[in-house]
Structure 1
């Protein structure tokens, strides 16, 4: 089983406007729709599209749970959330222009998670997760979820012997790397920060960090990515597509990457599939839509160069 953990889920309200939002102008909304928000839930959505069994874990509020459940049912996302009474799952307002690329995101902060629910998540993990499972923690923490809380969560997961992937940032990414989780996906600036060397050559930095991370992917945005694994370094060049919005492209990559690993595909095939899915997502305006048909076509345009980790 694959479990995703979204510590701070959201309900995305998508607000579509004709043109870019401007000050001192009436920016009329032409249509609205709803989506689930939070990187872990997006990863779960991708896994479900690939037919890979998964379950979403995390913390939600009681006040708007039914709305979130309806959205997740539409996306065929199974879940076993811990509920905080008397609060609402945060809303993230996403303004999308129909005539230009990009979007404006205005997320609420979210609620404070009680100590009881923090402990309940640890108990849930001990009960559910086995050494054969994969767990992906993705997205930002809620207010009051400390670095110490995150470390206890990682320790609990690693004690089960499962595969642990983290798509997080800042101090949480630093801690995930320090603890040697199985998968991280920093960008170019983040990997240099991880090594406390802003002047390091990128490939040198990747080779250094790859010694402690089993699957290290470094995102380069529209320029593709690097992946280091098992003594080899891969440079992945992404296909060039017409961009509508790159929001959620990284989540799409992670979901497809984890799905490929779960299906025990060759790593080159995993990277091509994940890159094709990410490129498809960029062609859509919201934060989670991608097409398996588009992705299959786009992955044939992905180029991969393989090098030895030891060669500098």
Structure 2
């Protein structure tokens, strides 16, 4: 089983504007839709679309649980969120320009979790995780969930022997590296923050690869570079007409882990992830893609392989 953990999910309210957003004006909407927000839930959606069994975990607010669960069910995401009493899952207002000139997002503050809520999650993982499982921990942390809590979470997963993937940022990413997780997907800014005085990105990645099984470094439209098993894989993404790139990275991670879980093969996993992300950017939704269309892009994903100089 693959488990995804979204500690701080959101309900995205997508408002499609008739015209470009203008200050001091009544900006009218053409339509309104709802989507799930949160890196882990997006990963679960990708896994589900590829037919790989998974379960989305995390915290959510009890006060708007019905709306949250309905969106998860509409997206076909299997879930077992722990609901926090007296709180609501945060909502994000996304104003979408009709001419694909970008969107404007306003996000509410996160819910606050108590010690008993944190303990419920840890106990659930201790009861269910095995060494055959894979776990993705992704996204930001809710209020009152400290780095020490995140460390306990990551250590608990490692102690179960599960493959641990993290899509985190800033201090949380540094913590994941120090714990020695199995997978990270940093961008160039995050790599620089992890450099510890090393001048080049390549040297930083090679140093990180000594303690992390698989690293996928984002290169935006150019694709990505993966360090795995002592080799380097440069991945060139398919060329597509982009509509909305929000969530493309989450789609990549979900598709990669789903394929790697099934095959334990790095090249098919990179190809599927790149193809799914390329298909996702052709749609307005922040998570939606079509698996059959993505598979048609597989032949357009180009990968070159070389040997790393890790000592």
The two structures share one fold, judged by TM-score above 0.5? yes
Mapped contact 2:280–2:289 kept (Cα < 8 A): yes
Deviations 1:122-142 (A, max 9, x none): 100000111110000011101
| Paired position in structure 2 for 1:145 | 145
Mapped contact 2:92–2:108 kept (Cα < 8 A): yes
| Paired position in structure 2 for 1:27 | 27
Query: What SS does the aligned partner of 2:294 have?
Result: helix
Mapped contact 2:185–2:216 kept (Cα < 8 A): yes
The question of 1:227 aligning with 2:226 is answered yes
Query: So what's the TM-score if we normalise by structure 2?
Result: 0.96
Shift of 1:265: 5.2
The question of 1:107 aligning with 2:107 is answered yes
For residues 51-70 of structure 1, the aligned pairs below 5 Å read 51-70=51-70
Query: What SS does the aligned partner of 1:166 have?
Result: strand
Mapped contact 2:207–2:310 kept (Cα < 8 A): no
Query: What SS does the aligned partner of 1:4 have?
Result: strand
Distance 1:130 1:26 in 2: 54
Deviations 1:126-162 (A, max 9, x none): 0011111000001110122111110111111111111
Deviations 1:259-306 (A, max 9, x none): 111111531111011001111111111211112132112221111110
Deviations 1:15-52 (A, max 9, x none): 11133312223321110011111111111111111111
How much is the aligned-residue C-alpha RMSD, in angstroms?
Answer: 1.4
| Paired position in structure 2 for 1:266 | 265
Shift of 1:240: 2.1
Mapped contact 1:102–1:285 kept (Cα < 8 A): no
The question of 1:161 aligning with 2:153 is answered no
| Paired position in structure 2 for 1:196 | 196
Distance 1:19 1:9 in 2: 29
Distance 1:299 1:96 in 2: 30
Distance 2:283 2:101 in 1: 9
Mapped contact 1:96–1:286 kept (Cα < 8 A): no
Mapped contact 2:3–2:134 kept (Cα < 8 A): yes
Q: Which runs of 5+ in 2 are unaligned?
A: none
Query: What SS does the aligned partner of 1:80 have?
Result: strand
Mapped contact 2:232–2:307 kept (Cα < 8 A): yes
Deviations 1:98-131 (A, max 9, x none): 2124322211121110100101111000001111
Query: What SS does the aligned partner of 1:137 have?
Result: strand
Shift of 1:311: 7.5
| Paired position in structure 1 for 2:242 | 243
Mapped contact 2:100–2:244 kept (Cα < 8 A): no
The question of 1:296 aligning with 2:290 is answered no
Deviations 1:62-100 (A, max 9, x none): 111111111111122111111111111110111112212
| Paired position in structure 2 for 1:43 | 43
| Paired position in structure 1 for 2:210 | 211
Query: What SS does the aligned partner of 2:263 have?
Result: coil
Distance 1:260 1:183 in 2: 14
Distance 1:8 1:32 in 2: 23
